[in-house]
Chain A
């Protein structure tokens, strides 16, 4: 039961953000569905990759790839979907618990949660950054449509 509630909540959470970021028309639904799928993938991978940071990384890579494909299909900047699809993975909960333990003076738990939060954030962004960096090399293989201007003039 819990996974389904989480997946549905992820749908509405992402949809809400899509409105706040001024996404319009059918893209609203792609945004919300993507957020839902990203979380579903995260839950599905649980038995395969027990480490949460590792799972964050895999989901982040898959989602960013999906966003790049989507961007080419809809001719829109890839960051449109990449950022919004990964919203359910933003470690807001972990961050909150870190703050709570810090304020309560539970330093052991605080340190543990702080490291955990940073791990998640790094895994998430590493996935995005790796895929984005890789994708930017694609035009190089495709054609010489937009050569860097510096090479031309020097």
Chain B
């Protein structure tokens, strides 16, 4: 392999790995993908170390030719469609070994994986909140509708904070503060029987469930550092949500049953 090709292989692989991590893949999947791809393209040895915040990939193609590149991972947003496409690309690279220029084109296509438009996302924030209101025991129709309404607003807020690149913890705190306050306000107006179900329904959309699950998977797969990092991240997010609730209680005074 000539130098330019090695560089290209490294940059393509890293691009794939970075996108995988950013769409919420586990560490072992990322590392295994790197090894498989590099070996398929003729590397004598490929060493990869990935955490939730960076990737180091070192490839040895000949005795005197070893290359190492790194990437910084900024933020992780669960995107299952993208993860799925990346996974198929890795499979194809490992088995068919397509030209790197073709891989490059494929990567560009994956970068532009469609996401649901803002209105659809907002709508499903609402539906999720409404559904979990009922799921956890809320039985009034008005309550369900009001829960959905709060969910829609939380969806708008989440998207807005995402756009403004608000600090994630602050964003969760504000969403939680809004949802809990709105639930209490609705309760005051007699819209919902129980504040609790309204709040639980909306908290469900904010809870870092995926982060926590992935943290445990990493931990048990032996990737302790990433597991611990994800765990800390999820716990701080959960604490931010709890803070939103606590501040609401202080504002509205007392605990409604």
Q: Is the interface of B mostly helix, strand, loop or mixed?
A: helix
- Residues of B within 8 Å of A, CB-based: how many? 64
Flag if A12 contacts B127 (CB, 8 Å): yes
Binary flags per residue of B200-230, CB closer than 8 Å to A gives 1, else 0: 1001110101101110110011000000000
Flag if B79 contacts A22 (CB, 8 Å): yes
Task: Enumerate chain B interface residues (CB-CB to A < 8 A).
Answer: 24-26, 28-29, 32, 35-36, 39, 44-46, 78-84, 87-88, 91, 94, 113-116, 120-121, 124-125, 127-132, 134-137, 139, 196, 199-200, 203-205, 207, 209-210, 212-214, 216-217, 220-221, 238, 242, 245-246, 249, 255
Q: Is the interface of A mostly helix, strand, loop or mixed?
A: helix
Given contacts A75-B88, A92-B132, A99-B245, contact A16 B114 (CB under 8 A): no
Residue from the list B114, B132, B245 in contact with A9, Cβ < 8 A: B132
Between-chain CB contacts (< 8 Å), 9 pairs? A9-B135, A12-B131, A77-B83, A79-B217, A84-B80, A88-B135, A90-B209, A92-B207, A149-B45
Q: Which of A17, A24, A104, A129 has the most CB of B within 10 A?
A: A17
Task: Enumerate chain A interface residues (CB-CB to B < 8 A).
Answer: 5-6, 9-13, 15-17, 19-24, 27, 75-77, 79-80, 82-84, 86-88, 90, 92-93, 95-97, 99-100, 103-104, 121, 125, 128-129, 132-133, 136, 146, 148-149, 153
Flag if B35 contacts A92 (CB, 8 Å): no
Bound complex: CA of A121 vs CA of B216, how far in Å? 11
CB distance from A127 to the nearest CB of B (A): 11
Give the top 7 A-B pairs by smallest Cβ distance, nearest first.
Answer: A16-B128, A12-B131, A9-B135, A13-B131, A19-B124, A9-B134, A129-B220
